[in-house]
């Protein structure tokens, strides 16, 4: 049975309406557990570049940033290394007014992909020294 993942609007409602900023910055195992329960599967999907359709809107992009950056901190607290999601470069332009790249990923065909398989094996013309 396939589980339905939360929508971008659910991430934003949780982060900006159901929580208060002090929860974002202090250690709270119950808060971390709540994020794991509600958004753990979504974080896993985002870490595997499965939320790329969210990048079509500013609110979707913001929700993906919250999942990959903020939720990663709660889900991987006290682990010796950062989560894989926080190590990869952001899959979109740094500034929201710049256009989203239109050429799809050479491996998985997703726009602006940063999935682990693709970033570990870039095409020869883009491999860094």
Backbone angles phi, psi at 54, to 5 degrees: -65, -25
Task: Specify the 3-state DSSP secondary structure of 47.
Answer: helix
Asked if residue 47 is part of any domain, the answer here is: yes
Bridge partners (DSSP) listed for residue 111: 104
User: Could you tell me the pTM of the whole model?
Assistant: 0.64
pLDDT given for residue 128 in this prediction:
43
46 near 85, Cβ under 8 Å? yes
Helix (H, G, I), strand (E, B) or coil at 16: helix
pLDDT at 41 over 90: yes
pLDDT tens digit sequence for 85-125: 544 444 544 444 444 445 556 556 665 555 555 554 455 45
Query: Could you tell me the pLDDT band of residue 48, with boundaries at 50, 70 and 90?
Result: confident
In a domain, 120, yes or no: no
- Is residue 7 within 8 A of residue 54, CB to CB? The reply is no
The answer to the question of residue 48 being in a domain is yes
Q: Is residue 33 part of a domain?
A: yes
User: What's the confidence (pLDDT) of residue 127?
Assistant: 43
Question: Tell me, what CATH number does 81's domain have?
Answer: 1.20.58.320
Residue 119 lies in a domain: no
Number of domains in the chain: 1
């Amino acid at each position: 049975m396939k589980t339905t993942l939360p929508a971008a609007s659910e991430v934003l409602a949780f982060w900006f309406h159901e929580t208060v900023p002090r929860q974002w910055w202090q250690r709270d195992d119950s808060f971390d557990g709540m994020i794991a329960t509600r958004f753990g599967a979504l974080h896993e999907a985002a870490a595997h570049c499965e939320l790329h359709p969210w990048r079509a809107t500013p609110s979707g992009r913001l929700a993906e940033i919250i999942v990959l950056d903020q939720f990663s901190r709660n889900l991987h607290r006290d682990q010796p290394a950062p989560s894989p999601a926080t190590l990869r470069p952001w899959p979109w332009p740094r500034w929201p007014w710049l256009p989203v790249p239109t050429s799809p990923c050479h491996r998985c065909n997703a726009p602006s992909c940063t999935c682990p398989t693709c970033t570990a094996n870039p095409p020869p013309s883009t491999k860094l020294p």
